[in-house]
Amino acid sequence: MRIGHISDIHSTQGTDFNPKIFDKAVGMLNGLHCDFVFVSGDLTTDGLLSEYELAAKKTQEITSRLFVVPGNHDERNLGFKLFPEFFGETDFVHTLPQVTLIGLASSEPDKDDGRLGRGRYRKIEECVTAGKLTIVGFHHHLVPVPGSGRETNIIEDAGETLDLILRKEVPLVLMGHRHVPWAVKIHKTLLVNAGTFSCNRTRAHFGNTFNVIDIDDHQIKVQVMNVRTGEMKTMVEFSLTDGCCQNRYYEPEKNKV
Ligand SMILES: [Fe+2]
């Protein structure tokens, strides 16, 4: 199974959005024939109607099935009322043939901070399925992301959420927000951040990227596609059989910030 993991599109008529990069990235993504694409939030910049309309129009160019959660930018200016009109439920559980996908809204109206809260803990508790791979996805990050600047906006209840995810042995968590791709394994869980798909606010040399995640019975492999260069590099390989994790992000030549 192949999953496209994209984030932080930041559609707007202003300067945040790079439509040429978006179109190029979508061409690459469509060529990878993902079973589905998970968008971990911030499809807009200010949650405006015109931005939602643009985001909806542009994301229709993605040929794989899309699953979308909101980010903090999508909640601005009553954007939280628009999100369901354009992208459906903000919190969802989909039982797909090979995985259970739990999408959660970590964002709140007019706040950059995020939190999940007890209602969403229950969703995780109830929906993690024994013997079936579970993926949990939301916008904000759960642990600090290196190379992304001064730390801010980790979800307020990160400790409780992390504890629950580790106790339930959720193998894969997908996040965004920091505009930097990164992955780290903690206990039996792989935490993966996608960089920004099409926002001009990239960080240092990271550029615009998206993640390509291949999962089979034995491992989860995460590759990062650099949209400008078209180069795809393996970031992490996580064995589902013995828990071994090789984090290639920390190989010297790949850790250039
Ligand atoms: Fe964000």
Q: How far is the CA of 218 from the centre of ligand 1 (A)?
A: 32
Q: How far is the CA of 149 from the centre of ligand 1 (A)?
A: 14
Q: How far is the CA of 181 from the centre of ligand 1 (A)?
A: 13
* C-alpha closest to that of 94 among 189, 3, 162: 3
pLDDT of residue 257: 55
Residues whose CB is less than 8 angstroms from the CB of residue 130 and which lie 6 or more positions away in sequence, other chains included? none
Exposure of 224 in the CB half-sphere (CA atoms within 13 A): 25
Strand order in the sheet with 65-69: 65-69, 36-40, 2-6, 209-215, 219-226, 232-239, 245-247
List the chain domain ranges: 2-254
**Which residues crowd ion ligand 1, with CB under 5 Å?**
42, 71-72, 177
Residue range 20-44, pLDDT digits in tens? 999 999 999 999 999 999 999 999 9
* C-alpha closest to that of 174 among 219, 220, 218, 131: 220
pLDDT under 50: residue ranges of the chain: none
Say if CB 140 and CB 108 are below 8 A apart. no
Whether domain 2-254 has CATH 3.60.21.10: the reply is: yes
Return the sign of the alpha-carbon dihedral for residues 184, 185, 186, 190: positive
Q: How far is the CA of 205 from the centre of ligand 1 (A)?
A: 19
Euclidean distance between CA atoms 219 and 189, whole angstroms: 12
Residue range 149-195, pLDDT digits in tens? 999 899 999 999 999 999 999 999 999 999 999 999 999 999 999 99
